[in-house]
Amino acid sequence: MLTYIFKRLFLMIPTLIGITLITFFIMKLAPGDPVSLKLMFAGQGISPQALAKELARKEGPLDLPAWYTHFTHRVSRALQGKTEGTVTEKSLNWIGKNSLHYGKWLKNLSRLDFGLSSKDKRPVSERIWEALPITLTLNIISILIVYLISIPLGIWSALRENSIWDKIVMVKLFILYSLPTFWVATILLVFLAGGEYLNLFPLMGYVSDGAENFSAGEWLLNVAWHLVLPLVAYVYGSFAFLSRFSRSNFLEVIRQDYIRTARAKGLSEKKVIWKHAFRNSLIPLVTLMGTLLPALLGGSVIIEQIFSIPGMGMLAFEAVLGRDQNVIMGIATIDAFLTLLSLLVSDLLYVAVDPRITFEGR
């Protein structure tokens, strides 16, 4: 088992490198650049030729270490005889610039240094560590709620297949699954938070002003009060999907031959359901857990933006709008790592659910 875990952890390294490489070049292929955007918002004028020359000097890379010598020499030769009006990135024919920029970024990543945010010049790692606990808290609580409610409901519905209660539950789950997240979140805010209707929950944020003066118990209650509506918006779609998935999977299991054999041996229905059918029906649900966290991380962009929660979703949204490339790369790296880690955890849970599964020799 330990050998398998170490092997998977080792394979995460090239996978993360591949993900960050793809993300990096997608950003480079996007139109515009962060320097022009920053100058535009700052109201500063600069000629395209001067900007191209400055980019060539700083990203060319004329400021990189000595092991880039043969590349920088190529740029130096390209700059000879060029005036400010004739120097452009295209005239440099700089094919390797982005590759070298990525190499420098990857070198810094080995020290967990994502660089500085172009928005406020703060370290990207500092901004991520501030936002990450908030998003992880929301996602972990959401996963627990979804699984603790969906699995029993799915089994309850499966044991009453085609009954009136089963049909009612399925119709309601279909309706929940069809509702878009942004619409549900907006309705929750309008009717339950600070509008003309029920003012039961806070309108935005994840903690009240002055919370630093609260006791530990008061702070937890305040955070829980703020997170009720975001959690509802988080879980309703996954809850509807997982309940139906659990029902379908349980129905498939109880129709297997070994379930008929267990009943033929005279085992009680309760023992057949919970000892034989239930455990085997959990295996696909464990698989699904590995993909649920990435899906929730992606959905956090909408939820955190609507409820003004300063988590990874809001940070990613602001970074994309502001072309803050260091923050985007940092978030993509952390999300990729969490996704790979969740897949590893779901594989390990296989063994806990079904002891017949083993990773020995893999």
pLDDT tens digit string along 151-198? 899 889 888 888 898 889 888 888 888 888 889 988 888 888 876 778
Amino acid, single-letter form, for residue 354 = D
Q: What's the topology of domain 124-353?
A: MetI-like fold (1.10.3720)
The predicted pLDDT at position 302 comes to 87
Query: Which one-letter DSSP state was computed for residue 265?
Result: T
Query: Which one-letter DSSP state was computed for residue 45?
Result: -
Q: What is the pTM of this model?
A: 0.72
Query: Which one-letter DSSP state was computed for residue 205?
Result: -
Region 53-59 average pLDDT: 57
What pLDDT, in 10s, does the model give residues 246-263?
888 888 888 888 888 888
The predicted pLDDT at position 209 comes to 78
The predicted pLDDT at position 220 comes to 87
Per the model's pLDDT, the better-predicted residue between 250 and 103 turns out to be: 250
Q: Give percent above pLDDT 90 in the chain.
A: 1
Helical segments of the chain, H only: 2-29, 34-42, 48-59, 69-79, 89-92, 97-109, 124-158, 164-178, 181-192, 216-254, 257-264, 269-271, 278-306, 312-321, 325-353
Q: The dihedral of CA 23, 25, 29, 35: what is its sign?
A: positive
pLDDT, the chain, mean: 77
* Domains in the chain: boundaries: 42-109, 124-353
Cα angle, residue 133 at apex, residues 186 and 224 outer, rounded to 5° = 55
CA–CA gap between residue 96 and residue 60 (Å, rounded) = 9
The predicted pLDDT at position 68 comes to 41
